[in-house]
Structure 1
Amino acid sequence: MRKSLTAAAALALGALPLALSAPAANAADGTFTANLTQLNDSGVTSTATATLKGNTLDIKLQSQGLLEGAPHAQHIHIGGMGVCPTNDQEGSGANGALQVSDAADQYGGIAVSLTTDGDTSPDSGLAVKRFPTGNASYSRTIKLDDKTASAISAGKAVVVVHGVDLDGSGKYDGDVKSDLDDSLPEEATDPAACGVLQASQMSQMPAGGVQTGGGSTAGTEDAGLIALGGTLLVGGAGAALIASRRRRTAEDQA
C-alpha cells in the first residue's frame, strides 16, 4: 500500500509543473479596430483596422467625407484618457470649433504619424506632403516603440484624422490659425474624426490547440484541465492515505 501511495503522490506532484508552465498567449498581439466618428460636424467617418505582432503594426484606414484634393494628417495618439471628444464639444477655434489642443487630455499626444512614406514619428505630425489626400485609402506597416504597442494592446490608443472645411469654401482657409502651426489655417489641422482602437472580438476567440502569441486564448482551457487533473490526483492520493490509516486502525483494534 505504501508503494502505491508514493506512486500516486509522485504522479500528482509531477502534474503541477505542467499546469504552472502551460504556455500563455501574448496579450500584446491581436487585431484591433476603430470606428471613427465625426468631430466639428465634419461629416467624416472612417474605419481603421490594425494587426499588432510584437512591435510591428499593420494598419489600414478607409475614410469618407474628407475634403477632396486636400491632404489630411492622421495619427495614433496615446498618453491621454484613451477616449475621443464628442462631436458637440466646443473648442477655441472659429465659432467654437474644436482644435487639436482642446482635446489633448482626452486622446493624448501624437505617437505615430500615419504618413504614406518615410518617417512615422511625431516629428512628421505635420508632414503635409506625406499624408493621404481626400478619401484615399491608407495601408502601411509600421514599427512601434514599446509604449505605443502597449497602449494599443491596452485599448488606450486613439486614431485621429485631421482637416475640416468649416466654412464650406472647398479649401483650407479662414482667419483663425492652427494651434499646431500658425502658418496654417486651423481648418488644416482641426480634428475631423476620432476613434479608439479596440481588440477585435474575433482575435479573442480560441483557435484550438495550445498556441503562443497571436493574441489567442487557445490552450488556456487545456491548462485548466491539467491543473484540475493535478488537483484530482492530489485529492486521490490524500483519500488513499486516509483509507489506509483507517484500515490499519481497524486491524490494530481487532
Structure 2
Amino acid sequence: MATAPAAPVPASAGAGPAASRTVTYQARLRPLNHQTGSGLLTLRLRESTATITERYSGLAARLNGAPYPHLQHIHGGARGMCPPASADRNGDGVVSTTEGTPYYGPIQTTLSVRGNVTPQAGTDLKIAPKGPSVRYERTITLSPAAVASLRKGIAVVVVHGDDPRLLGRKARNEKSDVVPSLPLAVTSPVLCGVLQPMPAGGAATGTGSTAGTGHAEAACLFGAGAVLAGAGALARALLVWRRNRTAFRPA
C-alpha cells in the first residue's frame, strides 16, 4: 500500500534559528514484496546531525550461508511515498529498486553500521546491518539533500534484502537491477516507511500530545473535591437549620 507523504514542515523550519532546534522524525517500517517483518526508526535532527535509533525484525536471516546483509538508506527528492504493488512494471511480482525510485527517490544518505554514509556506499554489503533483526543506533551527518527532503516531508527510509523463498520463480532467478552481480532479492526493498515529524518534545518526554493529561486529571480531581466539600457544607447547614427550627417551635 502506498504511504502518503507527511505534511511539509513550514519553510521557516529550514532556515534561521528554527534550523538549530532538534526536530524528531519517525518512520514505521512496513513490508513490501510479499515479505514479512516490521520496524520503527526514530531520527533526531539538529542542523545536519542525525541521531538514529532503529529496531526491525522478521527479515531474511541468511544469504549463501552467511548473515544476510540488509542495505538501508534515506531516500528522497521524489513523491515521498512507499511504492504500491502496481509499481512492478515488468510483472515479475517484485517492486525493484529502480521501479520504486519514482516514489521514494534516489539514495541521499546510507544507513551503514560504520564508515561511509554517502550515497556511494549504498550497495556496500560489508557495512550494511546483517541478520533478521537489528538494534541500530548511530549519530551521522546527513547530506544536504536528505536534510532538505526531511524538512519537505518527502524523506523515506528503505531497507533492502528480500527473502528469495517468498518470491516467485521468475524473480528468484533474476539479477539485481542496480548491481547485476547480485541477485534481484538482495537489492529490492523489503521494508519502507515515510519519515514524519513528531510533535515538539514527543510523547516520551511528557511534552507531546499527552503532556496536559496530568494537569487535566488534577483539575478534575480538584473540581470533584470542591463539589464534595460544598455538598458536605450544605448538609451541615441544613442540619443546623432543622435543629434551630425544632428548638424554637411554639408549644
User: Per-residue deviation at 1:91?
Assistant: 1.6
Gaps of 5+ in 2: 1-15, 62-66, 206-251
C-alpha contact (below 8 Å) 1:158/1:196 kept by paired residues: yes
Where does residue 123 of structure 1 map in the other structure? 120
User: Per-residue deviation at 1:92?
Assistant: 4.9
For 1:41-190, list aligned pairs within 5 A: 41-68=34-61, 69-86=67-84, 88-92=85-89, 95-134=92-131, 135-168=133-166, 174-190=172-188
User: Per-residue deviation at 1:40?
Assistant: 0.3
C-alpha contact (below 8 Å) 1:94/1:176 kept by paired residues: no
CA RMSD of aligned residues (A): 2.4
- Closer, same or farther in 2 for the Cα pair 1:128/1:92, shift >3 Å? farther
CA distance in 2, matches of 1:44, 1:168: 12
CA distance in 2, matches of 1:161, 1:61: 11
C-alpha contact (below 8 Å) 1:93/1:176 kept by paired residues: no
Q: Secondary structure at the match of 1:167?
A: helix
Which whole-Å deviations, capped at 9, do the CAs of 1:51-109 have from their partners, x for residues lacking one?
000110111211111111201000000111111113x3352567321100001111000
2:162 is aligned with what amino acid? V
Where does residue 40 of structure 1 map in the other structure? 33
C-alpha contact (below 8 Å) 1:59/1:139 kept by paired residues: yes
CA distance in 1, matches of 2:185, 2:150: 28
More moved, 145-154 vs 53-62: 145-154
C-alpha contact (below 8 Å) 1:28/1:153 kept by paired residues: no
2:161 is aligned with what amino acid? G
How many residues get paired?
180
C-alpha contact (below 8 Å) 1:27/1:153 kept by paired residues: no
Percent identity of equivalent pairs? 33
CA distance in 1, matches of 2:17, 2:161: 43
More moved, 133-142 vs 48-57: 133-142
C-alpha contact (below 8 Å) 2:25/2:44 kept by paired residues: yes
CA distance in 2, matches of 1:164, 1:177: 13
CA distance in 1, matches of 2:129, 2:202: 31
User: Per-residue deviation at 1:145?
Assistant: 2.8
User: Per-residue deviation at 1:25?
Assistant: 3.5
C-alpha contact (below 8 Å) 1:84/1:106 kept by paired residues: yes
CA distance in 1, matches of 2:21, 2:96: 32
User: Per-residue deviation at 1:147?
Assistant: 2.5
C-alpha contact (below 8 Å) 2:73/2:157 kept by paired residues: yes
C-alpha contact (below 8 Å) 1:34/1:195 kept by paired residues: yes
C-alpha contact (below 8 Å) 1:42/1:166 kept by paired residues: no
C-alpha contact (below 8 Å) 2:33/2:189 kept by paired residues: yes
Which whole-Å deviations, capped at 9, do the CAs of 1:12-37 have from their partners, x for residues lacking one?
xxxxxxxxxxx964387400000011
Gaps of 5+ in 1: 1-22, 208-254
User: Per-residue deviation at 1:154?
Assistant: 2.2
Q: Secondary structure at the match of 1:132?
A: coil
Q: Secondary structure at the match of 1:102?
A: helix
CA distance in 1, matches of 2:99, 2:121: 21
CA distance in 1, matches of 2:26, 2:94: 27
Query: TM-score, normalized by length of structure 2?
Result: 0.66
User: Per-residue deviation at 1:150?
Assistant: 2.0
